[in-house]
Amino acid sequence: MNSENLWSVKVGQACKGSEESVNWLTQQAEGKVRAYIYRVTLDNDLSDDLTQETLLQMIKSIRNLNEEENFWPWLYRIAQSKVQEHYRSKKRETAIAGDSFYKDFLSRRGDIYEDDSLRELLKQDLLKKVMVAMKELKQKQRAVLSLRCFDNLSYAEIADTFDCNEVTARILFYRARKALRKKLSNHGINKNLMIMSLGLFGRLTLSPETSTSIPDGPVSKASLKVGPVATILGNLFSKKTAALLAAIIILLIFLSGRNNQIVSFGPSLPQRNEIYSLHFTMNFQNNTPGAGSQSRGAYEQWFYFPEGVEGPMYMRMQRWDPNTGAKLCTWLNNEHGNYYYDPGSRTLYQWNRRIRWASLKVRRLPSDSDEFANFISKVEGELPVDTTYSRDEKTGMLINSIDHRLTFNAPEYQTTYEYNTLDMEPFINDFPFTLLEIDQRDQMHKRGWTYFNIEGELDGKKITGKGRIPFIYDTCKEYPAWLSINVENELEIVDCNSGAYVRRIDNGDITLYPAGTFFKGLLRPWTGLHTMDAVRRDAVEQRIWYFTELSEDKSDAIITLYNPDKEKSTDMVYTIDVEHDIVEEILVTIDTDIIGSLKFSYLNNIDNVMNEFTEPVMPSNINTDLQELPGILWIADLSHGELGK
């Protein structure tokens, strides 16, 4: 049996519970894992600790590995998670001077002096230059270089490790390679020696426990290739290129006048389904009566979409003064929670809720279509002359905007939209060490998920239901959202990860829908939007008008969805707890007459739940096509008895 087949057999046996195979995998993998973690952290003691944590997690979780051939990407993903978890807890990576770092490295690698070839390079000071250049890279850059060059992972496997798509993996590697070339050049190493330098680094960081982390020869040229698409995208938004493009765009806009424009934009921007990150800065008007400033400040915003723009998102927002001269407060919504940093009091808050606009306006994204954005403007009464937007003619993506309102503080304020220029770094909790931390989360938000109940009545029929909801992206895989509703023994409505359906209880007929269908119009906090925005953006998708106001005590948002062109339209009135970011009640009305309501309650404590909440499963052997998504109108269809017909 060759080595590859042996690994496959051992992984398969370990997944089925073989203790002997688990022990074998642990012993064989330890060296490669340790080498990988050291190459990422360049910290010997930390590498020892994180290696043990990674292997322990492997032992605990290996039965959950679904595909045996994905063992290495899966294991490296655990290792990378342990590294990120460590530095999140430390808030940031401690900077170590090059000389101190290199002296510590030499003290632990006495075997270097026993190798003639390495001893000669040591005399030339080349070893130090290579190690210090690698130390100056970001952790993620070292990680992707290690996976590709030393562990021989394909780009698809690297994408699996970093939970991104393959194009993103290629771009990450391209930028890491480019950054390394620059660091080496800064230390006087010719760019033609990069392959040799990478091979040398791999050899220097080889774990004593393994001889397979890197071959004796140099890194192969083939492993450094990323393809033309990644090269173009990787270069497209360098700082110099972005500045040049911005200047060209601004000139085109002023030549074109102040109306919305579709302009040709050199190399095409990514299509909407190819976007994984966004970055831009925009000003907001101060609408406070008597305010001395026309602008509330400039808001720099970063977005990251781990599953594409239709899925969850992380967000960071930095408030500046109107001319972006001084930093003010910071918001961060990432996979772990929701943070607000007040630099004045040096206080970091953790909140239940996601970011929302105090103006009660709907959150927009540069990835929104022109039609989607224009409908929001129509509903919210914004005049088109207030801001000029320019879009790429090939993709429809926003390129630039100019705000004409802020003539006093920030005249003709210009925003440039950057796509796919970010990695995960802006979304790490990197706030200062010495600050006061105040955790304002309730128990269910600290847990990251909870169960909920639904009770109500629609058109005289009793409604009962239950479900589970994750509040953060970290928990949405282990505790995915699901929903089960019963309509007075007439209908069963189910929505879960594997799909959704409506079953008529009298005859058993089933209508299938895509997963997530019946979470439209409900809370989806793990996606990164405040529930106020999730509901209203669901309405905008179907061009439904909305009106938003706060309750008298400002604790609830009251959102009314309506059709202004239709008499006796079915309207829905949402009550949303603003601070807890949850739907409390949905009223269904016709011409102001209430015909039903759904009330939601959430379990703060789940200690005594027992078997009350059981995740539903999709029926098997159902040969029927998926129906079109009804969107947020499924609630209105349910109230009229039309759902599933």
Measure Cα distances from 382 to 46, 196, 499 in Å. 54, 59, 39
Residues 140 and 196 in one domain: yes
pLDDT reported for residue 81: 81
C-alpha to C-alpha distance for 280 and 249, rounded to whole angstroms? 15
| Section 148-172 average pLDDT | 82
Identify the helix (H) or strand (E) that includes residue 632: none
Q: Is residue 644 part of a domain?
A: no
**Residue 375 sits in which domain range?**
237-439
Q: Is residue 584 part of a domain?
A: yes
Measure Cα distances from 142 to 22, 146, 207 in Å. 29, 6, 16
Tell me the residue type at 203.
Answer: R
Q: Which residue has the higher pLDDT, 567 or 177?
A: 177
pLDDT reported for residue 212: 44
| pLDDT tens per residue across span 392-430 | 888 888 888 888 877 667 777 888 899 988 777 788 877
Tell me the residue type at 564.
Answer: P
- Confidence bin at 446 (pLDDT 50/70/90): very high
| Section 375-393 average pLDDT | 81
Contact 149, 219 (CB under 8 A): yes
Measure Cα distances from 133 to 174, 198, 214, 424 in Å. 17, 11, 19, 21
Residues 199 and 313 in one domain: no
Q: Is residue 231 part of a domain?
A: no
Angle at 9 between CA 8 and CA 13, to 5 degrees: 120
Residues 216 and 360 in one domain: no
List alpha helices for 90-192, DSSP H: 98-108, 116-123, 126-136, 139-145, 155-162, 166-186
pLDDT reported for residue 598: 96
Least confident of 70-79, 100-109, 449-458, 550-559: 100-109
Residues 70 and 196 in one domain: yes
Q: How many CB atoms lie within 10 A of CB 266?
A: 12
Q: Please choose, from the candidates 351, 425, 408, the residue with its C-alpha nearest in 3D space to the C-alpha of residue 175.
A: 425
Q: Which residue has the higher pLDDT, 246 or 502?
A: 502
Q: Is residue 313 part of a domain?
A: yes
pLDDT score of 586 more than 70:
yes
pLDDT reported for residue 117: 53
Q: Is residue 303 part of a domain?
A: yes
**Total domains in the fold of the chain:** 3
Q: Is residue 586 part of a domain?
A: yes
- Beta-ladder partners of 558: 549, 575
Contact 580, 353 (CB under 8 A): yes
pTM for this entry = 0.63
| Section 103-124 average pLDDT | 57
Burial class (CB in 10 A: 0-12, 13-18, 19+), 635: buried
- Confidence bin at 288 (pLDDT 50/70/90): low
Q: Hunting for tokens 């990150």 — which residue is that? A: 277
Q: Which residue has the higher pLDDT, 99 or 214?
A: 99
pLDDT score of 41 more than 50:
yes
Q: Give the CATH number, domain containing residue 541.
A: 2.50.20
Residues 400 and 469 in one domain: no
Burial class (CB in 10 A: 0-12, 13-18, 19+), 382: middle
Q: Token digits for 35?
A: 């080498």
Q: Token digits for 280?
A: 């831009």
Residues 291 and 321 in one domain: yes
Q: Which residue has the higher pLDDT, 141 or 537?
A: 537
Domain stop point among 191, 226, 261? 226
Return mean pLDDT, the chain: 81
Domain stop point among 393, 411, 439? 439
| Section 37-62 average pLDDT | 86
Say if strands 593-602 and 449-458 run parallel, antiparallel, or are unpaired.
antiparallel
Residues 429 and 448 in one domain: no
C-alpha to C-alpha distance for 485 and 454, rounded to whole angstroms? 8
Residues 170 and 278 in one domain: no
| pLDDT tens per residue across span 559-581 | 999 988 877 788 999 999 999 99
Residues 282 and 417 in one domain: yes
Residues whose CB falls within 8 Å of the CB of residue 145, separated by 6 or more in sequence, listed in order: 39, 137, 173, 176, 177, 180, 198
Residues 508 and 633 in one domain: yes
Identify the helix (H) or strand (E) that includes residue 638: helix 634-639
Q: Is residue 645 part of a domain?
A: no
pLDDT reported for residue 256: 47
pLDDT score of 96 more than 80:
no
Residues 479 and 343 in one domain: no
C-alpha to C-alpha distance for 457 and 428, rounded to whole angstroms? 44
pLDDT reported for residue 456: 95
- Percent of the chain at pLDDT > 90 equals 30
CA dihedral 378, 381, 383, 384 (to 10 degrees): -20
DSSP symbols for 92-108: SPPP--HHHHHHHHHHH
Domain stop point among 193, 226, 259? 226
Q: Is residue 205 part of a domain?
A: yes
pLDDT score of 596 more than 50:
yes
| pLDDT tens per residue across span 452-503 | 999 999 988 999 999 999 999 989 988 999 999 999 889 999 999 889 999 9
Residues 38 and 169 in one domain: yes
